[in-house]
Amino acid sequence: MEYNKLTDEEERVILHKGTEMPFTNEYNNHFKPGKYICRQCNAVLYHSDDKFHSGCGWPSFDDTVSNAVTEVADADGRRTEIICTNCKGHLGHVFRGERFTEKNTRHCVNSLSIRFIPSTHIS
């Protein structure tokens, strides 16, 4: 399968499970209607209706596109990593029980792992 070419920083995050700096990333304060796709393989991961402001410094979503995101135990043994189901690229981590939304779930996602597609371009 052919994937999008990644920058060095995108590779650090997506392929090597890195984290970008909080509060400085592209989609932290981005709330336009549309969808968010995997930067590596273009799979649709999240809809803007599920994005919320958590104050954590990274984009936060309380739901995913069905079967688009896989949860795996993180190497640190304390957190749960989220990866793109299609290409296995690192997205971030999921947290539950924080009560930010009724769904009580926060997908904390690196902006470098996703790309936004405005709703005017949604098919």
Q: Which CATH number do you get for residue 14?
A: 2.170.150.20
In a domain, 1, yes or no: no
Residue 64 forms part of a structural domain:
yes
2 domain residue, yes or no: no
Tell me the per-residue pLDDT of 42-55, one tens digit each, with 9 for 90 and over.
999 999 999 999 99
Domain membership of residue 60 (yes or no) is yes
> Domain range for residue 103?
8-121
End-to-end CA gap in the chain: 23
Q: Is 108 a catalytic residue?
A: yes
Domain count, the chain: 1
Predicted confidence (pLDDT) per residue in 73-120, tens digit:
988 889 999 999 999 999 999 999 999 999 999 999 999 999 999 997
pLDDT in tens, 56-66: 999 999 999 99
CA distances from 61 to 8, 16, 39, 91 (A): 26, 22, 17, 12
